[in-house]
Amino acid sequence: GAGVSQSPRYKVAKRGQDVALRCDPISGHVSLFWYQQALGQGPEFLTYFQNEAQLDKSGLPSDRFFAERPEGSVSTLKIQRTQQEDSAVYLCASSLRASGNTDTQYFGPGTRLTVL
Amino acid sequence: GENVEQHPSTLSVQEGDSAVIKCTYSDSASNYFPWYKQELGKGPQLIIDIRSNVGEKKDQRIAVTLNKTAKHFSLHITETQPEDSAVYFCAASSPDKLIFGTGTRLQVFP
């Protein structure tokens, strides 16, 4: 079956532009996670949704980062006024149950964001 | 909060040899420990996981061991093949998210 999909796969933005990154989780998955992966590093948690509720946004680096999942399926990560330090791969993951962290998380291919 | 350390950062082995990657974690409340394989340009793919109620789990050539007392867990790959070459990440659960190690780049030479 279809896995987690993300779009676009690559995004180049000029400093100061706003960007929107989309995640389509596996159908029926309750939990959705966003992670940021800098070059040569492990993924770092940004935020977590259970259905449409954003239960944890403690990893968002600043108020320029905003995520939503209005209907409990597709999620969008928005970054306003992008800066060079925002350059990274943004990974989305979903899991079947509401237990979140102890359930298998399936990752998408990521969106590579480059801010010039 | 949880902190996960992973060693080594790079590992080169001959095809057919074994590879071992080790991780330590700090939060004794963590109870789920997955291992992911990431190939260039792709997202992490789960290869094996272990929960705190068991000490070892095996799946064909891959095994994971967990020592909760010492707060460390290890990935063992036997009979390595060139297609095992990738970056491997360990992770530990923290209430509602995974905390990842910094990764191990495994190279298997034919």
CA A29 from centre of chain: 15
Q: Of A76, A75, A49, A80, nearest to A63 (Cα)?
A: A80
pLDDT for A98 equals 80
pLDDT for A99 equals 66
Asked if the C-beta of B104 comes within 8 angstroms of chain A's C-beta atoms, the answer is no
| Rounded alpha-carbon distances, angstroms, from residue A54 to A30, A32, A50 | 12, 9, 6
C-alpha angle A113-B92-A69 in degrees, rounded to nearest 5: 45
> What residue in A sits closest to B93 (Cα-Cα)?
A101
Q: Which residues pair with A45 in a beta bridge?
A: A35
Give the CA count within 13 Å in the CB-facing half-sphere of A20: 6
What residues of chain B, 23 to 82, have a C-beta less than 8 Å from chain A?
Answer: 31-32, 34, 36, 41-46, 49, 51
pLDDT, tens digit, 9 for 90 and up, residues A77-102: 999 999 999 999 999 999 998 865 57
Stretches where chain B sits below pLDDT 70 are none
Per the CB < 8 A criterion, the answer to whether B104 and B18 are in contact is: no
Q: What secondary structure letter does DSSP report for B78?
A: -
pLDDT, tens digit, 9 for 90 and up, residues B33-55: 999 999 999 999 999 999 988 89
A42: nearest CB among B42, B45, B101 = B101
pLDDT for A100 equals 53
Query: Distance between CA atoms of A55 and B5, rounded to whole angstroms?
Result: 27
Stretches where chain A sits below pLDDT 50 are none
